[in-house]
Structure 1
Amino acid sequence: MASRNATPLVHPDTDALVFTDVLTALSDPLRLAVVAELAEGAEKPCGSFRLPVSKSTQSWHFRVLRESGVIRQRDDGNRRLNSLRRDDLDARFPGLLALALREAQALRVPPEDSPDSNGPPPP
């Protein structure tokens, strides 16, 4: 949730994106899942992602993605909206995002098979 007294959000310029920082951000499966979800369309609020971690851990993951330059965040009332910096990433590291999204698709677990679903656990 955004606060009136929140520290301004800092996003690196396109030419300041660091390859190893972007790779580090994309190396975590939860962050990669967030990136894949953002790649599907428009801005999404932080609360719309169903991540199996605490709220503080989610905030940390979003911070890593933002500070590495993978996502852009903006405050909208009491929500923080996230969007993928596709154009910036493609300009700085051509093909990297496409590769990461292909890998994310290969790793994706269907929702009905996820551990937090109401169905029985997989055999």
Structure 2
Amino acid sequence: MKSYKLIFLAALSFAACKSETSSNDDVQSIKFKFTELGRETQFRITCDKFDYYFPEGKEKNFNKKPGIDSVMQLLTGMKMVSDGTEPDVRGKIYITHTTKTVDTVCVGAKVLSYKGTTYETPQELLVLIQK
């Protein structure tokens, strides 16, 4: 009976690892479009208005696996914020998958929005963007 439990747990562990790996493996490229992250305006910039207010943003691209993996690792380890805070957007991250779908992350200095959820912006991500 114990051996069946061990086999079942091993299969679950393998499936969990495989699904996590495949989600990172299907990322083809990552593009950052941003302005100075400390730049202040008189009002909060929403994600849909970022390109309007900052059309001359800087760009940074990640097309190789090590860079893509480092960004995705930062995005998967974020702390959720549930106090109603919305990002004052100073950058966008476009994650292009091999299926040609694109996920957009709206980045503010304190919080970011990813897949409809607000998270604390990892400081390591801000450093990576500005490098």
Fold equivalence (TM over 0.5): no
TM-score (norm 2): 0.26
TM-score (norm 1): 0.27
Q: Considering Cα pairs closer than 8 Å and 6+ residues apart, tell me whether 1 or 2 has the greater RCO.
A: 1
Richer in helix (by share): 1
